[in-house]
Amino acid sequence: MLDAVRAFLTAEAAPLGDEVSVTLYPPAAHFPACQQPTPFLRDTSRAPLGRLSVGVRCSGEDRRTRYLQAEVSVIGRYPVTAHAIEAGTRLTRDDLEERRGELDRLPRRALRTVEAIVGQEARRSLAAGRAIQSHQVRAPRLVERGASVILEAGGQGFRVTRRAEALGAGGRGERIRVRLDDRRILEGRVIGRNRLAVDD
């Protein structure tokens, strides 16, 4: 069972970096033999890094699910700020440099690819040489509060547009409220410069 878990975690973490190290902490209780162990991660929303819990499903007579603790360490490349960055700056490749190190030692919300950062806007000032976390950047604002916007709605073979006033600011994919001429308030998703879509 432990070999299956180690192989599973190594395969899951391999795309993240160059070197993967897996340490397993077997449970103190003695479990019966596990036929055809199938490991799985309890939390698939985050990268398999650091300390985590791994589930193992067994086939055969003993179909119970077992859990054990593991620690996954990955050495790889990650982007950091090349210099101090002011709030509101739209980030480019020139604002970043790559470092090599232990990815599991980065903050949990650190962005690990240049592509995830380029084009984003700094929400606040960022110090040089630091990993950038997801809450420190946002999509550039395409709609400002009070702006006149085009609201689009459509379906199979038709599209309707209407003017509205933005009641908030937002970047691509963000949802903001708008006021129509008849004072009704709707919510739309930002799809371009001063353009929003109303989803069904």
* Confidence label for 143 from pLDDT (cuts 50, 70 and 90): very high
Q: Is the pLDDT of residue 95 over 80?
A: yes
- Whether residues 15 and 64 fall in one domain: yes
**Residue with more model confidence, 155 or 151:** 151
Q: Which residues contact 31 (CB under 8 A, 6 or more apart)?
A: 1, 66
Residue 165 reports pLDDT greater than 90 = yes
* Residue entry with tokens 């970043």: 96
Paired residues of 126 in beta bridges? 85
Domain with residue 187: its CATH number is 2.30.30.760
Looking only at the bridges linking them, the beta strands covering 148-155 and 195-197 are parallel
CATH number for the domain that contains residue 100: 3.90.1210.10
The verdict on 79 and 36 lying in the same domain is no
pTM > 0.85: yes or no? no
SS3 annotation, 79-146: EEECCCECCCCECCHHHEEEEEEEHHHCCCCECCCCCCCCCCEECCCECCCCECEHHHEECCEEECCC
The model's confidence at residue 157, banded by pLDDT at 50, 70 and 90, is confident
Domain with 173 in it: 141-197
Q: Quick check: 28 pLDDT over 70?
A: no
Residue 41, pLDDT score: 92
Report the percent of the chain where pLDDT is more than 90: 70
61 sits in the region (left: phi over 0; alpha: psi -120 to 50; else beta) called alpha
117 lies in the same domain as 67: no
With a pLDDT cut of 70, the percent of the chain lying above it is 98
Residue 20 confidence (pLDDT) above 70: yes
Task: Report the distance separating Cα 2 and Cα 82, nearest Å.
Answer: 42
Mean predicted confidence (pLDDT) in 92-96: 97
Find where tokens 């890094």 sit: 49
As a whole number of angstroms, the distance between CA 89 and CA 62 comes to 57
Average of per-residue pLDDT across 139-153:
92
